[in-house]
Amino acid sequence: MKKQINILVSLAIILSIQACGSIPDPLGAGEPQSSQSQATPGEEAQPDTQSPYLQIQTTLRSNPPCAGNKEMRKDAILSLDAYLKDDSSRWSPEISVLYGNMMGFVESEITEPVTSGVRIWSMYNHGFIVKTPSTVFAFDLVHGYPSWKYQIPDAILEQIQVLFISHKHDDHRDPTIIRAITDLGGEVVMPVEEWLASLDLVYLSADEDATLAGLHIKAYDGLHGDIPVRMYVVTTPEGLTIMHTGDNQTSETLPDGVTVDILLLNAWVNDSGSASPVDGMRNSINKLTPRLTILGHIQEMSHLYDPSDIKSRLSFEAPLAVDDGSLPGYVSVQVWGEHCDFPPE
């Protein structure tokens, strides 16, 4: 399928990015790579064993979410965070290579069978892929930050039976991914307010129910300024309930009386500015009492990093500070391409 050109406007900077090309991989000999990451023709890739990004990648792979050493994970994630806080890192070839490597793990893992429970991959921004023994579905998939010139390959997209989109913002909705998934036979669910006449999609209103690919779906209204947002509660054929909050900005608009096994929570939730993101996340988790929370919408690179500005992108520091030992369930902070198996084996 012909890839379209995505245009992302970030303040006064306009970046026009064409469909993905090949990116040399200086990092990981012997590590699984995306089918899109290749060495320059005629050159043998020479990994830099001293690269801090390779060291971060190695530590995270040796200590996976929900199973690895939490302190080692925290140190590695904060090391990555320190690089990402520098706005110039958005154009760093090393960051784009790290991202491609991590997406390569998703590509190699997504065909592996899940025999019980679920496996949940964190993708870019607030995107997730969920695989159960019987189905694969996803939320808010986008390719990544456009300057990285990465596109999720069909080898991943063809696995997805249902894609849920919370709202129309570019960091949550990508027209090329919508078209690819529908062309590959999958379904796409969107807020009814964002009806697209040219596409045969499933549109849900607030408080509406639906069943797709064996999934029972309940849609709820979220709050995100004047932008229509759907929060989806999805019950799998195996009986697990997973909720994705989109860009809902306050714990007060989370539905009452909902039982949630797994919560995919946007980490910048700050109760509409009346609380810090740390308190907003804790309030949300305490309200829904999930068995597992995976935090998303962290280091979304189209926002500048300026903690004094409410529009600043969120670093990993706040999500890592959320779990103070008092919250219900397990809280997982994940980097792009990492997955959590639930319940842990």
User: Where does residue 249 fall: left (phi above 0), alpha (psi -120 to 50 degrees), or beta otherwise?
Assistant: alpha
pLDDT-derived band at 232 (thresholds 50, 70, 90) equals very high
pLDDT at 32 over 50: no
Mean pLDDT across the stretch 154-181?
A: 96
pLDDT at 195: 86
Cα(118)–Cα(262) distance, integer angstroms: 10
Global pTM value: 0.86
pLDDT at 266 over 60: yes
Provide the pLDDT for residue 49: 55
Q: Is the pLDDT of residue 42 over 90?
A: no
Cα(107)–Cα(151) distance, rounded to whole angstroms?
A: 12
pLDDT beyond 50 at 69:
yes
Q: Are strands 229-235 and 241-244 parallel, antiparallel or unpaired?
A: antiparallel
Are 137 and 127 a contacting pair, CB within 8 Å?
no
Q: How many helices (H) and strands (E) does the chain have?
A: 7, 16
Q: pLDDT digit string (tens) for 308-345?
A: 998 899 999 999 999 999 999 999 999 999 999 999 76
Contact between residue 229 and residue 222 where contact means Cβ atoms under 8 Å apart:
yes
d(CA 104, CA 46): 18
Half-sphere exposure at residue 63, Cβ-oriented, CA atoms within 13 angstroms: 19
pLDDT at 307: 92
In angstroms, what CA-CA distances link 337 with 71, 109, 138, 203, 227?
20, 10, 13, 28, 28
Of the listed ranges 23-32, 80-89, 206-215, 227-236, the least confidently predicted one is 23-32
The pLDDT, as a whole number, for residue 310 is 85
- Per the prediction, the chain carries an average pLDDT of 87
Q: Which residue has the tokens 């994705």?
A: 244
The per-residue pLDDT for range 145-161, each reduced to its tens digit, is: 999 999 999 999 999 99
Q: Is 73 left (phi over 0), alpha (psi -120 to 50) or beta?
A: alpha
**Mean pLDDT in residue range 33-61:** 62
Per-residue pLDDT, 115: 95
Report angle CA 327, 286, 270 to the nearest 5 degrees: 105
Q: Is the peptide bond before 343 cis (omega within 30 degrees of 0)?
A: yes
Q: What does the block give as tokens for 290?
A: 């999930």
User: Residue 18: left (phi > 0), alpha (psi -120 to 50), or beta?
Assistant: beta
